[in-house]
Amino acid sequence: MKVKIKLLAFILLLAIIPIVIVNVFSQSKMNSNTMSLVTNSTQSVISNQAENINFYFEEIISSAKEIASSERIRNYTIESNAEDFSVSDENQDFIRITDGFNAVAHNNSSLQKIMVINNSGMIIASTDPEDNGKRMSNYKGLFTLAQSNNGISSFFMSGDDSNIPVFIVSKAIYSYDNVCQGIVYQLYNTGHLQKIINSTKLDKYTTAALMDSSGNLLEYPYKTLKSYSESENYKAAGNILCNVINPVDDIVSDSVYDYGTNRGSRMLFTSVVSSCHWTMLAVSDKYSLKSEAEKVSGAMRNISTIVLIISCIGTVLFVYYFTKPIGEIMKVFQKKQKGDMNARFDIKSNDEFRAIGNAFNAMFDDVFESEQRYRTIVEITNNIVFEISFKKGTVFVSKNFNKKFSYRPKDDSMKESFFYKIRVHKDDKERYMNDLERILGPANFMQGEYRVKSIYGDFVWIMIKATKFFNRDEVPTKIVGVIMDIDKEKKSEMHLLQRASYDALTQLYNRETFLKSLAAEIENSSMKKTLDAMLFIDLDDFKFFNDEYGHACGDEVLKFVADTLKEICFEHGFAGRFGGDEFVACLTNLTLYGDSGKIAQEIIDILGKGFTSESTGLKLNVHCSIGIAFLRESGKTTEEVIAAADEAMYNIKKHGKSAYAYAKSPQKQAAEPVQETQEQIPDNGYVNDISHLL
């Protein structure tokens, strides 16, 4: 299928599918969203209004409590319960109390009356002078009210000309010994509550009302009181409201209820006024809300259809115009695939396609030049160039590989390549295979030096450097590297290292190398608690050989001593030439203290047997004096250990030469366990073995 058709189909589907999805799901989604928004908004408004009403009731309850707890009113009420009490306009407490009540009522338009009633039902103080001294017939009910629901009554009609619902707030007045003496009676009209209900901002399909604890509703137009079972808006939700008034578990929270079916479907919102167990209500016409949402979704569906038609027409025109240059580009690619390297992009449009064509032309030119450059470099370089392709599983190697190595692979596969078939020196093979597996696995770079067998059958040093390449998805695609012949440089480097570390005449460690090795051994001995010793060896009368037979003979003596130390110390440690006719040796991992003395005596014995000099033809006997110092017991540094061994050696020089001595006693016998043939180290710190000279 051509790109033009694919692009056309893709864009059309891209335009049609979203519009179809929107048309299919928009109506239900919008209805759902609309209902969700209305529900959340209405519930939030009702909850806020219930909170406002709660604040109002907390204020008037607090006012009633303040009056009931007044000391003046308490004392006056206790006094009124006497049998001979009568209300008198001349009583100062009466005057102050009624004046205070009038001031409070004057500042609160909803507060119609304040009275104080004693235990016999007598009104002993009132904002209405006509009430003073009268007895209330239902005063016992008021006393009961004061003990329940925070003293707040249900709604009832005022019965006067105002014809407005009212409610009572009453609080008990207690004596100092907590005995009820009377009540404070406050009569409030619902004017303030009506303002709160009227301020509720709801949609046109929702109405609000306030229901008291008896099920009476305060709803517009507030001229009459109705039970919820008599209200047109709420009677269908009778069972729900009944449970709100008398909850099964005495816990009522803000809730939303659905009831009714079809055109009569509604939603009921409730929010409890916590201070008096009244409930703020709202009822919404659910059917009307859904109808409103459907009108909006229908309009959107019509708009979507128009957009779909316009999109289809625009898509056809766009695809035709856009894909025209693509056809020209494809023709050039087909020519390039057939080997026509002179094929060029010639797009006449003045847009990005022309820039793309020019970029491809430049890229093809660069690729052609790069291929030529790469081919030339591979052919003329002395290094071997290789490339491993992960995709093809093949290995490419430059032609100069055959000039240095005799292996010829059966094919280009990785398993048959020189990487796995070339012969690597046994000491380098494990390291080589590890490096190869790492570059073929997680590593991105490889560099290593190895000895491999050349075309001439000997091992030569090579260096392999390789880098892994990745595509844009970070997937490895190939490894490109070089094999360099570093045999001459490596052997030259090893020769220089040999010269820098060893004495030129004796091929033992030179002074600097021995000191470094001894320092490392001291640290190792201290950490592992091993028994190690250092021997300081000085040739006796070496000047005689140089003066009597010449320096050539002296060099032969030094070489003979060096060969002896190499042979003896090969399995026990290492040795070095300290300078002139002084030699040193380090003996490691000894079992007994006396083992070091045995080795020192062996050196003395072998040197004493002598050798035949090539320069003189004579057999020459060599004698030496040896000082022995134990690493951990004679010092913590190379200087301290060498000084101790040197001092022990000079002690031998003073007592006859050609023997050995211990530099310091280890506070134990020289051998553990003690044997009769083992000498013991005396407390003076030195042991001389010169019995063979006596």
| Residue 681 clears pLDDT 50, i.e. is over it | no
- On whether the CB atoms of residues 200 and 52 are closer than 8 A, the answer is no
CATH of the domain at 644: 3.30.70.270
SS (H, E, C) 548-578: HHCHHHHHHHHHHHHHHHHHHHCCCEEEEEE
User: Distance between CA 142 and CA 136 in Å, rounded?
Assistant: 10
Q: Answer for the pair 451, 425: CB distance below 8 angstroms, yes or no.
A: yes
Q: Rounded to 5 degrees, what are φ and ψ at 253? A: -115, 170
Tell me if 301 is assigned to some domain.
Answer: no
The better pLDDT of the pair 69, 367 is held by 69
What's the rounded mean pLDDT across residues 459-482? 89
C-alpha–C-alpha distance, residues 25 and 45, integer Å: 30
Pick from 87-101, 144-158, 631-645 the range whose average pLDDT is largest.
631-645
pLDDT for res 550: 93
Which residue would you say has higher pLDDT here, 296 or 387?
387
pLDDT-derived band at 154, boundaries 50, 70, 90: confident
Domain boundary among 138, 169, 192: 192
CA distance 246 to 681: 108
Q: Is residue 545 part of a domain?
A: yes
Say which residues have a Cβ less than 8 Å from residue 84's Cβ, sequence separation at least 6. Answer: none
Report how many domains make up the chain. Answer: 4
Contact 669, 681 (CB under 8 A): yes
Q: What is the pLDDT of residue 349?
A: 67
Better-predicted residue by pLDDT, 229 or 371: 229
Beta bridge partners of 587: 533, 573
- Classify the phi-psi angles of 122: left when phi > 0, otherwise alpha if psi is within -120 to 50, otherwise beta: beta
Kindly write down the DSSP assignment for every residue of 299-337, as one continuous string. HHHHHHHHHHHHHHHHHHHHHHHHHHHHHHHHHHHHHHH
Mean per-residue pLDDT for 30-44? Answer: 79
Which residues face 484 on adjacent strands?
463
pLDDT confidence of 52, banded at 50, 70, 90? very high
What is the C-alpha to C-alpha distance for residues 196 and 57, in angstroms, rounded to an integer? 12
Give mean pLDDT, residues 492-517: 80
**Nearest to 196, CA basis, from 165, 230, 220:** 220
- Percent of the chain scoring above 90 in pLDDT: 23
How far apart are the C-alpha atoms of 178 and 184, rounded to whole Å?
A: 16
Q: Which of 184-193, 321-330, 526-535 has the lowest mean pLDDT?
A: 321-330
For residues 396 and 458, membership in a common domain is answered with yes
Residue 689's pLDDT is what? 41
The 3-state DSSP class for residue 22 equals helix
What pLDDT is recorded for position 158? 77
Which residues, 6+ apart, have CB-to-CB distance to 48 below 8 Å?
none
Residues 6 or more apart whose CB falls under 8 angstroms from that of 336 comprise 343, 364
Q: Are 49 and 196 in contact (CB under 8 A)?
A: yes
Whether 16 has a pLDDT exceeding 80, the answer reads no
The H or E element that residue 258 is part of is strand 255-259
Q: What is the mean pLDDT of residues 133-151?
A: 82
The verdict on 526 and 478 lying in the same domain is no
In a domain, 160, yes or no: yes
The CATH number covering residue 73 comes to 3.30.450.20
Q: Tokens for 125? A: 């103080």
Asked which of 143, 167, 192 is the last residue of a domain, the reply is 192
Residue 47 lies in a domain: no
Kindly state whether residues 487 and 534 are assigned to the same domain.
Answer: no
Q: Which residues pair with 403 in a beta bridge?
A: none
pLDDT at residue number 672: 37
Contact 386, 400 (CB under 8 A): no
What pLDDT, on the 0 to 100 scale, is given for residue 688?
A: 41
**What is the average pLDDT score of the chain?**
82
Other C-beta atoms lying within 10 Å of the C-beta of residue 489 = 13
Domain assignment present for residue 203? The answer is no
Pairing assessment for the beta strands 123-126 and 156-157 based on DSSP bridges: unpaired
pLDDT exceeds cutoff 60 at 1:
no
Looking at the fold, whether 594 and 663 belong to one and the same domain comes out as yes
Q: Rounded distance, CA 508 to CA 568, Å?
A: 13
Tell me the average pLDDT across 184-195.
89
Residue range 480-486: average pLDDT? 86
The pLDDT tens digits of the residues spanning 94-122 come to: 888 888 889 888 888 889 889 999 888 89
- pLDDT at 29 > cutoff 80: no
pLDDT of residue 4: 62
Is residue 472 over pLDDT 80? yes
> Is 598 found in the same domain as 486?
no
pLDDT at 669 > cutoff 60 = no
CA 192 to chain centre: 58
Percent of the chain residues topping a pLDDT of 70? 82
Neighbouring CB atoms inside 10 A of 196's CB total 19
Of 626 and 41, the structure prediction assigns the larger pLDDT to 626
pLDDT for the residue 630: 94
Greatest Cα pair distance, the chain, in angstroms, is: 161
Other beta carbons within 10 Å of 434: 10
Q: How far apart are CA 609 and CA 52, in angstroms?
A: 121
Burial pattern 455-488, b for ≥16 Cβ within 10 A else e, equals eeeebbbbbbebebeeeeeeebebbebbbbbebe
Same domain, 390 and 513: no
Please give the average per-residue pLDDT across 89-95, as a whole number: 84
H or E, element range at 282: strand 278-285
Would you mind telling me the total number of residues written for the chain in this entry?
694
* Range of lowest pLDDT (147-156, 281-290, 345-354, 435-444): 345-354
Among 39-43, 268-272, 380-384, 680-684, which stretch is predicted with the lowest mean pLDDT? 680-684
**Which of 114, 223, 103 minimizes the C-alpha distance to 162?**
223
Strand pairing of 660-662 and 624-630? parallel
Amino acid of residue 278: W
What does the pLDDT look like over 558-602, one tens digit per residue? 999 999 999 998 788 899 999 899 999 999 999 999 999 999 999
CA 198 → CA 49, 208, 222, 276, 566, distances in Å? 10, 8, 11, 20, 114
Asked which of 459, 493, 527 is the last residue of a domain, the reply is: 493
Determine the pLDDT at residue 639.
93
301 token code pair: 């569906």
**Same domain flag for 469 and 539:** no
Q: Using alpha carbons only, how large is the chain's radius of gyration in Å? A: 57
Contact 647, 629 (CB under 8 A): no
Mean pLDDT is lowest, of 294-308, 471-485, 497-511, for 294-308
Position 210, amino acid: L
If residue 627 lies in a helix (H) or strand (E), which one and from where to where? Answer: strand 624-630
**77: closest CA among 166, 154, 181, 161?**
181
Q: Rounded to the nearest 5°, which phi and psi values hold at 538?
A: -125, 130
Contacts of 104 (CB under 8 A, 6+ apart): 63, 67, 111, 114
pLDDT at 651 over 50: yes
Give me the pLDDT at residue 629, please. Answer: 95
Q: Are residues 631 and 534 in contact, defined by beta-carbon separation less than 8 angstroms?
A: yes
Residue 226 phi, psi dihedral angles, 5° rounding: -130, 150
C-alpha 401/C-alpha 192 separation (Å) is: 104
Whether 101 maps to a domain, the answer reads yes
Please tell me the distance from the alpha carbon of residue 628 to that of residue 600, in angstroms, as a whole number. 8
Both 540 and 487 in one domain: the answer is: no
> Is the domain of 587 the same as that of 661?
yes
Confidence of residue 667 (pLDDT cuts 50, 70, 90): very low
Q: What average pLDDT does the segment 438-464 reach?
A: 87
Domain interval for residue 466: 382-493
Per-residue model confidence as pLDDT tens digits over 392-448: 889 888 777 777 776 677 788 888 888 888 888 888 889 999 999 999 989 988 888
Please tell me whether residues 367 and 426 are part of one structural domain.
no
Per-residue pLDDT, averaged over 177-195, amounts to 89
Which tens digits make up the pLDDT trace of 548-569? Answer: 999 999 999 999 999 999 999 8
Q: How far apart are CA 110 and CA 63, in angstroms?
A: 13
Residue 221 preceded by cis peptide, ω within 30: yes
Write down the pLDDT at residue 370: 65
Q: Do 447 and 576 fall within a single domain? A: no
Task: Indicate whether 531 belongs to any domain.
Answer: yes
Residue 360 and residue 397 in one domain = no
Q: Mean pLDDT, to the nearest integer, of 66-74?
A: 90
182 in a structural domain: yes
673 pLDDT more than 70? no
Q: Tell me the average pLDDT across 49-60.
A: 90
